[in-house]
Amino acid sequence: MTEDALRQLTVNGAVPAHIAIIMDGNGRWATERALPRPLGHRAGMKAVREVVEGALEAGVKVLTLFAFSQENWKRPPDEIQALMSLLEHYIAKELDELRKNGVAVSVIGDVARLGAPARAAVDRIVTETTGGKALALNLCISYGSRAEITEAARRMAEDVATGRLAPADITEERFAQHLQTARWPDPDLLIRTSGELRLSNFLLWQLAYAELYITPKLWPDFTRHDLFDAILEFQRRDRRFGRVTV
């Protein structure tokens, strides 16, 4: 069935160049099984591998995953520590495979808030996958879109104050170049698992014209077949960007 879906999407039309995913539902997955929440996050690692491999198979060029938000720092310290340990474990386990498959990893967010071991792991995976051409994998860690937009506005204000930029020269395109995602096109498709109907402070600027795909599946249960289903649904959409189809 998964192979059939992959075959269908390759002939159906354009595959989204950039897919963003809000990976939601790890905690609920664990609660439903009477397990500690950290075990839900650990189970979600399998889904990360599934979507990375599925994106490579489908020909997606950019995959952006919302791994840890700035708001997540408000969670209990034990859960935060478990998440940081899981990040280090993921990097140690997946680095060689990602490098072998041509995946270039970038990390978006306020990584200065991470502890030393997590920062070292992040630096390692970014450095050792540099140059990968098959897929750009962006991990949003300690990320918040309002903070990103505020920082971009502050930097542009500094440029105006120092005379490097005239107010009349501020455009959407120039503003976007101050965002952490400036190297990549905006997402074509946003996937959110667990059925929640909100953006959760994720890529608010960049998602302006993205197609939204909401699935009730909890993140640990999400597979590459689910990814292919989302792409097939994307291919059925009529993306007009405000224009009228004649």
**pLDDT tens for residues 105-128?**
999 999 999 999 999 999 999 999
pLDDT of residue 109: 97
pLDDT of residue 4: 84
- Catalytically annotated residues: 24, 72
Other C-beta atoms lying within 10 Å of the C-beta of residue 146: 11
Region of 201 (left: φ > 0; alpha: ψ -120 to 50; beta: rest) is left
pLDDT of residue 241: 67
DSSP codes of every residue in 196-222: ----TTSSTTTTTTPEEEE--S-GGG-
pLDDT of residue 245: 59
Mean pLDDT of the chain: 95
pLDDT of residue 11: 80
Determine the CATH number of domain 14-144+189-235: 3.40.1180.10
DSSP codes of every residue in 83-148: HHHHHHHHHHHHHHHHHHTTEEEEEES-GGGS-HHHHHHHHHHHHHTTT--SEEEEEEEEE-HHHH
pLDDT of residue 246: 53
103 within 8 A of 132, measured Cβ to Cβ: yes
Helix (H, G, I), strand (E, B) or coil at 231: helix
55-75 pLDDT, tens digit per residue, is 999 999 999 999 999 999 999
pLDDT of residue 244: 58
Domain range list for the chain: 14-144+189-235
Q: In which residue ranges of the chain is pLDDT below 70?
A: 1, 241-246
